[in-house]
Structure 1
């Protein structure tokens, strides 16, 4: 919900000049989608316990995150005045989601159990 609201809201007039880090926007996209997938896999594993294999949790969270990221970028391009869709944002979203999937596989595979 926060990501959707932030992605479709206008921040016109907000002074963000103190964030003068190159590609900071792309790092934020990467981070949001990394966390989205890790939390999504965790939620699916908890919700379905042993009825859903890790592979299906990983694939489901990955497909959701990539689809969601593309939809948000299209909505920004089509329905907002002060925001624009960006292919590089969609790529950062996808790379973050893929990285989150790989991290989730390591975290939840049982080979490195969380305690």
Structure 2
């Protein structure tokens, strides 16, 4: 069975699932908020940092992938999780373009999400395989 029952799950995996699910909702909410008003705190253009929004996408989805380490998954299931995260990032980008006011779907944002997932997955898989070889 790929998911342990919560009764037999070590507390750190249970905590990992709780944090992962909370982060899932956080990413969903911030991705589906209406676009920021000009000069508001959330208007990233005002900070004058080139590609700031892409860096934030990489960091957010990299953290998403890193949080998967704490779920107690096998490496194969972890890879499946990362594929699901990539699909979810694409879905959120599509929803931004179709449903959200002052937002647009961006393939560059989707690519930044994927880069973040790949970076987080690389670190996590390295840790999973180094842990299993010891």
Q: TM-score range by the shorter chain?
A: 0.7 to 0.9
Specify whether residues 92 and 112 from structure 1 end up closer, same or farther in structure 2 by C-alpha distance, changes over 3 A only. farther
Aligned to 1:82: 102
Aligned to 1:56: 77
Residue correspondences, number: 105
Instruction: Please give the secondary structure, in 2, of the residue aligned with 1:35.
Output: helix
Aligned to 1:23: 51
Specify whether residues 18 and 12 from structure 1 end up closer, same or farther in structure 2 by C-alpha distance, changes over 3 A only. closer
Distance 2:126 2:70 in 1: 12
Distance 2:122 2:83 in 1: 14
Q: Does 1:33 align with 2:57?
A: no
**Of the two structures, which has the highest relative contact order with CA contacts closer than 8 Å and spacing of 6 or more?**
1
RMSD of aligned alpha carbons? 2.0
User: What does the per-residue CA deviation read over 1:42-74, in whole Å, with 9 as the maximum and x for residues that have no partner?
Assistant: 21x1xxxxxx522322x1221121011000000
TM norm structure 1: 0.80
Equivalent residues in 2 for 1:93-108, closer than 5 Å: 93-108=113-128
Distance 2:133 2:119 in 1: 17
Which consecutive residues of structure 2, in runs of 5 or more, have no partner in the other structure? 1-24
